[in-house]
Structures are given as C-alpha cells and as structure tokens.
C-alpha cells in the first residue's frame, strides 16, 4: 500500500479496530500468542490515531487467546475436511484466511457490514477461492450466496454479544437447517458480563450495546435444535491462555474460586449433521 486507507466506521463496527490493534501489538511483542504479522501490517497501512483507543499490549491476550484458539479449531476442521466451505461471520479486519492459508479446494467467505468489507478490499489482497459478502449477519439473505454442498465451518468470533438472544438463536438455527453438516465455532459473554457492560471502556467509547449473554452450553443447546457440543472452554481454561501476563495470571487464580468470573468469556464449539 502506498497510501493509507481511511477508516470510516461507527458503533459496534468500531470494536474491530481495537481487536486489530491488540493483535498488532501482540505481533510486535517478545513472546506473541498469535503472532499476526498481517494485523501489524494492516495497522501500519490505516490512517487512524491508534492512541485514541486507550489500550496497550497488556490487554492483547483478551483478543489473541481467543483468536489463536479458533485458529487451532479451524485447522482441525480443515484437516478432517480438506474440501470444505468456511464462513467467517463478522470478520472485521481479521486475517484468518491468510494466517491459515487453506488449500486450493477450500471455499472461504468473509461476511461483514458493507463499510467493513469496503475497507477490507483496500487492505487485503484477493485470493483464489475467497469471496467477500457485504451484509449484516442477521440479514440472512447472504446464506443463499453460499453453496450447501460441502462440510461447512461457521466462525462467529466477537459478534454474538451484539445480537439479541432471539436474533442469535435464529441465525444459528437457519445455518443448521440449511447446511447438511459442519461446525459452529462461536464465543459468548456471560450474562453477568453483559449486565456490567457500562463498566467496559470499549462499549462506552463506541456507544455499542451488548445483548446476548450465555452462561453454559446448555443455554445454546436449549435454543438451537440439531447441534451437539464438541468443546467449550473459558478464557482462563484455553490452551492458548497467555502465561506471560502477570495480571491475567492473577485473575486466573481468582477465577478458579469465583465461577462467575471464570465464565465471563467463553469459547464454544458445536457440531451439526451426521457424525464422521
């Protein structure tokens, strides 16, 4: 990129700038969790005052632990299904398709608001088998753009909390009803985290509102038919948890004896369709 791309986002879409910046800070650190060089290069290519976000490298694990875990789960899915379809909902400026660099038989769709997709087109290159869909996740007409003839992985990272419970359950049900076999990989905030959202700096800064809170997989299984649990861990239990952060290590010790804190950030994985 010779000229920096201009950022024109508002509301919940702005949160992707914080996640992108934290990934870039992680990549520049001495012991990165994710090591996303694409995030680092994208931050350098955007015309934006990153200092206004008010976050530093110490906050990066809140994003990178989750993203690294979903990268690992996605790789597992693609190893079992080398001719799969991947749909990344609310992709923001995440570089997962480039980090994972799937084989030529994989079809990959990134879905997000039109302004986000327009910005992606400025900062990321095209590649074979890769398509961008400009749409809100809940405007499910985009589902018809995706062939339902292969095992399909739906990644929904960092969007559930911006949906109402009915919107979220309806979206997941439509996916399961349309596609014959695959996985849902989705993260949630707990109900307590949702209830305390006004204490979260990011939400105050962007003016976004959080809605859907989930405390355990049974909450999702009771709202969406046809899915089965494959895995569910919290931020503090994830295999990618950053042991280098003193503050988060201390929080983990507290979380072991304080279940509401332990459940605050959850990463779920569900299967649907016939079992392999």
Q: C-alpha angle with apex 105: 74 to 181, nearest 5 degrees?
A: 55
Q: Would the CA dihedral through 164, 167, 173, 175 be positive or negative?
A: negative
Residue with tokens 């990129």: 1
Cα separation, 96 vs 218, whole angstroms: 29
Question: Is residue 198 in a domain?
Answer: yes
More confident of the two residues 270 and 58: 270
Tokens of residue 69, six digits: 């875990």
Q: Is 214 exposed, middle or buried (0-12, 13-18, 19+ CB in 10 A)?
A: buried
More confident of the two residues 214 and 15: 214
Average confidence (pLDDT) over 121-132 = 96
CA torsion 61-185-44-126 (nearest 10°) is 160
pLDDT grade for 204, boundaries at 50, 70 and 90: low
Closest by Cα among 247, 245, 248, 251 to 31: 245
Phi, psi of 2 (to 5 degrees): -95, -35
Question: Is residue 35 in a domain?
Answer: no
Tokens of residue 51, six digits: 């200092």
CA torsion 15-20-21-25 (nearest 10°) is 140
Question: Is residue 137 in a domain?
Answer: yes
70: Cβ contacts below 8 Å, ≥ 6 apart: 96, 155, 157, 185, 187, 267
Question: Is residue 102 in a domain?
Answer: yes
What is the total count of domains within the chain? Answer: 1
pLDDT in tens, 219-274: 999 999 999 999 999 999 999 998 767 888 899 999 988 988 999 999 999 999 99
Considering the entire predicted model, what is its pTM?
Answer: 0.93
CA distances from 65 to 85, 157, 233, 261 (A): 24, 12, 11, 17
pLDDT > 90: what percent of the chain? 79
Question: Is residue 45 in a domain?
Answer: no
135: domain range?
57-272
Q: Would the CA dihedral through 9, 15, 19, 25 be positive or negative?
A: positive
Question: Is residue 39 in a domain?
Answer: no
Cα separation, 236 vs 264, whole angstroms: 9
Question: Is residue 140 in a domain?
Answer: yes
Cα separation, 156 vs 133, whole angstroms: 14
Average confidence (pLDDT) over 9-17 = 75
Query: The domain that contains 197 carries what CATH number?
Result: 3.40.50.150
First to last CA, the chain: 44
More confident of the two residues 259 and 155: 155
Phi, psi of 10 (to 5 degrees): -150, 165
Report the chain's mean pLDDT, rounded to a whole number. Answer: 92
Question: Is residue 32 in a domain?
Answer: no
Cα separation, 92 vs 112, whole angstroms: 6
């Amino acid at each position: 990129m010779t000229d920096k791309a201009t950022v024109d986002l508002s509301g919940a879409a702005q949160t992707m700038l914080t996640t992108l910046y934290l990934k870039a800070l992680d990549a520049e650190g001495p012991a990165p969790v994710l090591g996303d060089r694409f995030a680092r290069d994208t931050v350098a290519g955007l015309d934006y005052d990153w200092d206004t976000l008010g976050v530093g490298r110490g906050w990066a694990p809140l994003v990178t632990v989750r993203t690294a875990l979903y990268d690992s789960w996605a790789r597992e899915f693609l190893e079992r299904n080398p001719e799969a379809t991947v749909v990344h909902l609310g992709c923001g400026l995440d570089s997962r398709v480039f980090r994972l660099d799937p084989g030529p038989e994989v079809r990959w769709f990134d879905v997000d608001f039109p302004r986000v997709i327009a910005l992606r087109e400025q900062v990321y290159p095209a590649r074979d088998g890769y398509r961008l869909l400009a749409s809100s996740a809940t405007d499910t007409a985009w589902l018809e753009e995706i062939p339902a003839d292969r095992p399909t992985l739906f990644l929904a990272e960092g969007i559930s909390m911006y949906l109402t419970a009915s919107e979220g359950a309806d979206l997941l049900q439509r996916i399961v009803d349309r596609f014959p076999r695959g996985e849902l990989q989705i993260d949630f905030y707990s109900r307590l985290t949702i209830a305390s959202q006004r204490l979260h700096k990011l939400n105050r800064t962007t003016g976004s509102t959080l809605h859907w809170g989930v405390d355990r997989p049974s909450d999702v299984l009771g709202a969406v038919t046809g899915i089965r649990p494959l895995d569910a861990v919290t931020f503090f239990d994830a295999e990618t948890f950053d042991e280098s952060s003193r503050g988060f290590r201390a929080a983990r010790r507290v979380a072991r004896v304080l279940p509401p804190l332990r459940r605050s950030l959850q990463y779920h994985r569900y299967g649907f369709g016939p079992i392999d």
